[in-house]
Structure 1
Amino acid sequence: MSNNPAESADKTRSDGIALVKHASFKDIDRMGETLKGWEVSCTQLTRGPFQGMLTFLEQRDLQIYQLRTQQAVQVMGAKPTSRWLFAFPLVSFPQAAYSCDTSLTTDCIFGFDAHREVNHISDPHGVNLGCIGVSKSLFENYVAQAGRDDLDEAFMKRNVVVPEGTRFAPLVCYLRQLFWHSQQQPELVNAYLDAKLIEQDLLPLLINALKPRESEDSLRLYPRADIVKVAREFMAMNLQRPLTLADICQAVHASKRSLHYGFQDMFGMGPMAFLKVLRLHEIRRILLSAEPKSLQVKEVASTWGFYSMGHFSRDYKQLFGESPSQTLNR
C-alpha cells in the first residue's frame, strides 16, 4: 500500500492553515479525499493511468481551487453548505460536460445551488475547472456593494448561468494568472491573500460574471438524464449481483435503446461497460487498502463477478494503466 498518494508543496501560515497548496495524484479516490469539506466519490471513466493536479488557495472566508485531470471523471456527493460554491471551465468545453443533468456546451458558471449535491461528469478530455468557495456573509457584502439585488436565493436555485457578453473572460483570465503565480511566486500570493487583495479583485469579477444572457437556449436538461440516474443507482446497489442489460432496463422501465443512448451520451460508453467500470473501481479500492500478503487478487475479482483472470487483468490494466498485482503491492 502507498502511504504517499499525493505529492504536495504547501506554503502555510503560522497557525498551520495552508494558504497555497499544490498536489498531484495518481489515484482518483485520494484526489477526492483531499477536497477540503467535500464528501464526494469519484469515478474514472476513460482508460489510462490517472493523473490529477489540485491547486488550493485559502483565506479564511475564501477558497479557490484549480482541479485538473487528464481522464474523464464523474464526481458525486456532498459539498460544503457553509459557503457558496461556483465552478467554471478554465478552458472551454471541447465536448459536452454535465452538471446535475444539465448539458454544458458553452462557457458557464455552475454548481452554486446549495441544496443540490455535486453530480458532475466531465467531457471526454478530462477536467480543467476553477472553483471559488466564499462564505455567505462575505459574498453578501460584495453583492450589496455591487447593488446586485438579483443575486438572491431564487437566483442561486438556477445552479447554472451563461454569463452575458464578455463578462466571463475577465474572471477566467484573472484565475489563470493567479494559479500560474501560485506556482511561480507562492510567497507573493500568500502576501496578497493575507492582505485580502485577491478577495478584493476576484469577488467583483465573479459577481460581474453572474449576469446571465437574456436567452440561455444553450442550457438544457439532458432528456435521458433521469433514466441514467436511476440506472446508475440500481447498478451501485447491486454491484455484486449478476446483472444483465434486461435486468437494468426492467428496473428503470426503459428500453435498451434509450438506456444505451443515455449512457453513451453522458459517460461515453454503454450501460454494461459502465457497470464494469464501477466494479473495477470497487476492486481497486479493496486492493489499495489491503495488505498484499493477506489478499488473493483472484478471490476479490470473483467476488465482483470476474471469473476469467485473463479478461479481468486485461480490463483492469486498460482502465487504470497498471495490473491488479501492481495496485496491491503499492
Structure 2
Amino acid sequence: MSRLLSVNSCNLDGFEGLHRAIQGTHVDVMQLGRGKFRGSLTHLGIGDFSLSIGSFSVGVRTQRAPSDDKLVIGMLLSAKDRVTHWSFDMRPGDVLVMPPNTEHDGSFHGASAYAAIRLDLADVASVFRGEPRLSDLASWRDKNHFRSDSVIGLAATRRLPLIASCLWEQQATLSDAAADFWKRSIVDALTGTILHSLPPDTGGPLPSAMRLVREVENYLNSVGARPVHISEICAVFNVSRRSLHRAFYDVLGLGPVTFLRHKRLCAVHSALRESAPAEVTVAEVAMQHGFIELGRFSRYYRLLFGEYPSETLGIHNTAAAPDVVAALQERRLG
C-alpha cells in the first residue's frame, strides 16, 4: 500500500498570512514588531499526519481559539528575541503541548521560526508506541512546556527543516514503510526534548498578568472594530494605568497604549489589503479605526509595517509559492 505525500509552501508579505500557521488550525495574529513583514509557511502531509514549519521577520502576537479538537505539539526552531507561550518563556529547541479544545496565546518579540505537528488524541497510542510515558492519553490533556537539553534541542531544530526539505524534493507517493519511517523521524525530533527535558525556568510572565492581558484582548474582540481608549479599559477592569502598563509590558514587551495603537494599525492594514483604491481612501479607513491626525497615523503605520498606507491599498497577495524550506535552511546556515 502507499500514502500520498504533499508539501505546500508559500511566502508571506503580511502578518495576515500566519492565520493558518498550523495546518487545519485558525490562529488570530497581530503584528507587534516594527518593520516590513516577511515570512514563510510550509505544510507537509503524510496521509492524515501533518508537519507545519513557519518563519517570520518581526514580532507577532498569536492566539488560537479553544475550538480546535486536535492535539498540537510545537517546537521553537529559532528566535532573535524573547518568546512566551502562556506563562512559559521559551528558548530554541523547547517543546510546547497544546491540548485539544484549549485556547492558546503566544508572543514573539522578534524574528522567529517554529515547527508543529497536529494529530488526534485517538492516534497518540500508535504515534508514540514504544514509549509508555508518551502513549498515555493523560500525558497530553494538560498544556505543558518542556525545556530542551542544549545538545538534543539544537539537533532537533536542524533536523526538522532538513526532513521537510528532503521530502519537498521527493513530492511523491510513499510506501507504508517509508511513510512510517518519516513520521517516526519527525515525532522523534519533537519527543527527544520531552523525554530528556530540563526543569523549566520560572521567570515567565505572572499568571495574573497573563489573565489581565487575556481579559483585555477578549474585551477588545467583543467590541469589534470600534476604537477603544485606554481610559475605557481601566474603567471596565477597575485597574490603574500603572498596573495595566506593568501587566502588558511583562507579557508583550510593550505598554497598553502602544498595544491598542498596534491593534488598530493592524486592522487598518488588513482593511487596506482587502480594498481597491477605487473603493476607499486611506483617510476613510484610518478615521474608521480611530486615527484623526493623518500625518501622525502615516508615520506610525510606516514605522510598524515598513511601508506607507497608500502602498498597501489595493495590494493582493498573488505571488507564486517558492521553496520555503530552502529559505529556512539558508537563513539557519547563514
Normalised by the length of structure 2, the TM-score is 0.81
Q: Cα 1:302–1:202, aligned 2, differ >3 Å: closer, same or farther?
A: closer
Match of 1:3 in 2: none
In the TM superposition, 1:1-330 aligns within 5 A as 19-33=6-20, 35-78=22-65, 81-91=68-78, 93-105=79-91, 107-122=93-108, 124-148=109-133, 151-163=136-148, 167-182=152-167, 186-187=169-170, 191=174, 195-196=178-179, 197-211=181-195, 213=197, 215-218=199-202, 220=204, 222-223=206-207, 224-238=209-223, 243-330=228-315
Query: What letter is aligned with 1:134?
Result: L
Q: Find the aligned partners of 1:34 and 1:216 in 2 and give their Cα distance.
A: 26
Q: After the TM superposition, which of the residue ranges 171-180 and 41-50 deviates more from structure 2? A: 171-180
Q: Find the aligned partners of 1:216 and 1:33 in 2 and give their Cα distance.
A: 29
Asked whether the equivalents of residues 163 and 211 of structure 1 are also in contact (C-alpha less than 8 Å), the reply is no
Secondary structure class of the residue paired with 1:67: strand
* 1:117 CA drift (Å): 2.1
Query: What letter is aligned with 1:86?
Result: I
Secondary structure class of the residue paired with 1:55: strand
Q: Find the aligned partners of 1:98 and 1:313 in 2 and give their Cα distance.
A: 30
Query: What letter is aligned with 1:187?
Result: Q
Secondary structure class of the residue paired with 2:133: coil
Secondary structure class of the residue paired with 1:64: strand
String of CA shifts for 1:224-272, please: whole Å, max 9, x gaps.
1111222223334446556443332222232222211222232232111
String of CA shifts for 1:210-229, please: whole Å, max 9, x gaps.
22647434475524111122
String of CA shifts for 1:271-306, please: whole Å, max 9, x gaps.
111111111111222222222212122122112111
Q: Find the aligned partners of 2:160 and 2:185 in 1 and give their Cα distance.
A: 10
Q: Find the aligned partners of 2:48 and 2:301 in 1 and give their Cα distance.
A: 42
* 1:107 CA drift (Å): 4.1
Runs of 5+ consecutive residues of structure 1 not aligned to the other structure: 1-13
Secondary structure class of the residue paired with 1:210: helix
Query: What letter is aligned with 1:96?
Result: R
Asked whether the equivalents of residues 193 and 199 of structure 1 are also in contact (C-alpha less than 8 Å), the reply is no
Query: What letter is aligned with 2:107?
Result: I
Q: Find the aligned partners of 1:27 and 1:275 in 2 and give their Cα distance.
A: 19
Query: What letter is aligned with 2:184?
Result: Q
Secondary structure class of the residue paired with 1:47: coil
Q: Cα 1:284–1:206, aligned 2, differ >3 Å: closer, same or farther?
A: closer
Q: Find the aligned partners of 1:148 and 1:232 in 2 and give their Cα distance.
A: 36
* 1:308 CA drift (Å): 1.3
Q: Find the aligned partners of 2:21 and 2:139 in 1 and give their Cα distance.
A: 31
Query: What letter is aligned with 2:195?
Result: K
Q: After the TM superposition, which of the residue ranges 206-215 and 25-34 deviates more from structure 2? A: 206-215
Q: Find the aligned partners of 1:163 and 1:273 in 2 and give their Cα distance.
A: 33
Q: Cα 1:53–1:312, aligned 2, differ >3 Å: closer, same or farther?
A: same
* 1:33 CA drift (Å): 4.2
Secondary structure class of the residue paired with 2:118: strand
Asked whether the equivalents of residues 36 and 304 of structure 2 are also in contact (C-alpha less than 8 Å), the reply is yes
Q: Cα 1:164–1:125, aligned 2, differ >3 Å: closer, same or farther?
A: closer
Match of 1:5 in 2: none
What is the root-mean-square deviation of aligned Cα atoms in Å? 3.1
String of CA shifts for 1:163-197, please: whole Å, max 9, x gaps.
568554443332132134356xx117865898212
Q: Cα 1:211–1:163, aligned 2, differ >3 Å: closer, same or farther?
A: farther
